[in-house]
Amino acid sequence: MTAPPWKIKVVEPIALRSEPERRRALEEAGYNTFLLHSDDVFVDLLTDSGTSALSQEQRAAMELGDEAYAGSRSFFRLEQAVRETYGYRHVIPTHQGRGAEHLLAKLLVEPGSIVASNLYFTTSREHVELAGGVWVDVSVPEASDPLSAHPFKGNVDLEALGHVLAACAPELIAFVRVEACLNMAGGQPFSLENLARVRELTLEHGVPLILDATRISENTLFVKDREPGEAGRAFPELIRAIAELSDGAVFSSKKDHFVPIGGVLALNDDELAERARELVVVYEGFPHYGGIAGHDMEALAQGIRESADEATVRHYVSQSAYLGGLLLERGIPIVLPLGAHAVFLDAKRFLPHVSQEEFPAQALAAALYLAGGVRSMERGIVSGQHGDEPYDGLELVRLTIPRRVYTQEHLAYVADVVTGVFERRDQVPGLRMTYEPEHLRFFQARFEALGVFLEPSVAVAEPSTP
Ligand code: F0G
């Protein structure tokens, strides 16, 4: 693993609850890791969202926050950081990524219009559909195959996109969306070449190309390392080259930008940006703060600069590679190639005795918590199924790595916990859903066990902690 280009100055205590306490906490949470209290969690790999460690430069910058309602200095510093790093002309802060997605859907999606995208993200699709739009997945088929070693599973299927664009009048296409390090496929990148081809197609058909640039830094690193001819380019230059192929972007800054809260809608088109500023005052706040504080904008501006630092990004990606490597050595089924921000367990192969209707990934996430206080996230049928449509897609558990937070020892501990559950996988039963929310059900659904999870007599043998 690459040594981190930072050292630790402030620490936050964590503790491993006993097995009976974890069992009780799990039952009270309805077997949904989102409903656990963080005090009951030892290593929290639920998400990389808003969970990074701030740098001393970010903390210092926060002291300079200008909390003026309008015309805040902090806004202009944020605007400058976005322009310098990515080149977009207009910068609209939002409270987080989904705030930007909401504005974008309101701006561009009409009832019946289409958004074509490499695989969906939950909130991105929901906003498009709430605005009356239709989401069409045009990712390469390898994106949905956890066994494919394709180096760019985040690529758009150019033929499929071509068909969608050719079949519709341009005004029926709201926008083409390309997500960096495709979250739902395992944090898989697109290639610069693929994005350039998507760019050509969108220009040919006169439709906007919007990036979900939430994890653009990691995508850039994969381009540099895997794409022929790109190794010699400076990292910031490559980030900029990717962004410049698009008309705009949404960012959840809670990931690559190392902030606990914040997002950005970035646009090049003057008229569209004007309309976005009209909407932002309705839904987020004045365009000079968009739902976050002046000090948040300062931390964000500094975080954007740090996200263009190759050593920082390289260390982060090497943490996923380290954890994934340990699991691979032990024969644990994971998604390959190893992605950016997480290691994804393939629950279909991990728990072959649990049918997809009994929520194997949800059950596996529950078992990992019970076995060692490790919190992960379901990315399978609970997150992916849409209405009554049958779902037989990916069934994954995401072990997501917060940036600059956990050490190699924590990751080794996680690997031991996963291995322990794998050895006792026959003691992980399926689940039955007892409460299903109408929207984005994975956040708050509740479940009941269809058998005993990890017989207590066995689970009592506590894993050794770091
Ligand atoms: N786009 C992508 C690719 C995301 O991963 C997320 C959030 C969003 C948009 C929405 O941004 O949370 O700031 O409102 N992903 C988090 C995750 C929740 O855990 O993967 P947000």
Annotated catalytic residue: which of 44, 212, 346, 416? 212
CA 459 from chain center: how many Å?
31
Give whole-number Cα distances, 119 to 108, 154, 190, 283, 423, in Å: 19, 8, 12, 27, 32
Q: Is the CB of 208 under 6 A from ligand 1?
A: no
Of 45, 115, 118, 252, the one to substitute when testing ligand 1's pocket (max ligand atoms within 8 A of C-beta) is 252
Q: Is the CB of 97 under 6 A from ligand 1?
A: yes
Which atom of ligand 1 is nearest the CA belonging to 341? 20
Give whole-number Cα distances, 375 to 16, 25, 28, 43, 183, in Å: 12, 12, 15, 6, 18
Length of the chain: 466
88 carries an active-site annotation: no
Distance CA 90, CA 274 (A): 9
Q: Which residue minimizes the CA distance to atom 16 of ligand 1?
A: 49
The three-state secondary structure class of 136 is: strand
434 carries an active-site annotation: no
Q: Are 333 and 345 in contact (CB under 8 A)?
A: yes
Distance CA 303, CA 55 (A): 8
Q: Is the CB of 33 under 6 A from ligand 1?
A: no
Q: Are 79 and 240 in contact (CB under 8 A)?
A: no
Tell me, in angstroms, the distance from the centre of ligand 1 to residue 76's CA.
25
Q: Report pLDDT for 35.
A: 97
379 carries an active-site annotation: yes
Q: Report pLDDT for 390.
A: 83
Q: Are 307 and 257 in contact (CB under 8 A)?
A: yes
pLDDT tens across 403-448, in order? 999 999 999 999 999 999 999 999 999 999 999 998 889 999 999 9
Annotated catalytic residue: which of 42, 121, 222, 316? 121
The three-state secondary structure class of 155 is: coil
Q: Report pLDDT for 40.
A: 98
Q: Report pLDDT for 410.
A: 98
Radius of gyration of the chain (CA): 22
Which contiguous run of DSSP H or E holds residue 323? helix 310-329
Tell me, in angstroms, the distance from the centre of ligand 1 to residue 431's CA.
26
Q: Which residue minimizes the CA distance to atom 18 of ligand 1?
A: 49
Q: Report pLDDT for 78.
A: 98
Q: Are 445 and 32 in contact (CB under 8 A)?
A: yes
33 carries an active-site annotation: no
Q: Report pLDDT for 457.
A: 63
Residue 67: CB atoms within 10 A of its CB come to 11
pLDDT tens across 126-167, in order? 999 999 999 999 999 999 898 999 999 999 999 999 999 999
Residues in the chain with pLDDT values less than 50: 460
Q: Report pLDDT for 230.
A: 97
Nearest to 82 by CA among 314, 261, 295, 239: 239
